[in-house]
Amino acid sequence: MEVVVLNKAGQDTGRKVVLDDSIFGFEPNDHAIYLDVKQYLANKRQGTHKSKERWEVAYSTRKIKRQKGTGGARAGSIKSPTFVGGGRVFGPQPRDYSFKLNKKVKQLARLSAIAYKAQQNGIVVVEDFGFEAPKTKEFVQIDKNLKISDKKSLYILTEQNKTIYLSSRNLEGKKVVSISDLNTYDIVKASVLVFMESTINALQKND
């Protein structure tokens, strides 16, 4: 599979990159994607939710009415979950939602997500560019030139670039990551993957 390399003005440079079928053309694994996205979201959860159970509610322990003769059910404490303000039965408690996922499964999930984007023509390759200083206006112009300003896009760099990152961080639906920080969730969430020309070579070399 070949993709045209564009410059930051959105024009064809006359060059093409060949996308390796071992990354962009193999059969995606849906379950691996599900597991990786599930782990990513689970690991982000704080798990600090908490509700008071019966023994934690700060009320009197006095028996609120006599045992018999009232015509109603027995009631021994105002802390009972059946009363307003009482403790909650089996309420949420602090817990750790994170879980382990094998490295090969995460790699399979990431490549599967990329393969899906390739099948959907959601891959754009642009020649390497940079900014002398953070300029959101310039980043927006590049996005318009690539004709993806109305789409959620993920820019994938070979390595971290502070000026490009700072130029994009205030823009909704735009995210910049280095290849080492690339994850399945970001790939799935994006409509278009924008690869730097050098990133394609690095990705195909590493994977």
Closest residue by Cα to residue 36 from 96, 88, 110:
110
| Domain residue limits, the chain | 2-45+98-206, 48-96
Average per-residue pLDDT in the chain? 91
The residues with which 192 forms a beta bridge, in sequence order, are: 153
pLDDT in tens, 87-135: 999 999 999 999 999 999 999 999 999 999 999 989 999 998 888 899 9
Reported as a pLDDT band with limits 50, 70 and 90, residue 206 is low
Express each pLDDT in 51-90 by its tens digit: 999 999 998 889 999 999 999 999 989 999 999 999 999 9
Longest dimension (CA), the chain: 94
Per the structure block, which two tokens stand in for 139?
A: 């980043």
Class of domain 2-45+98-206: alpha beta
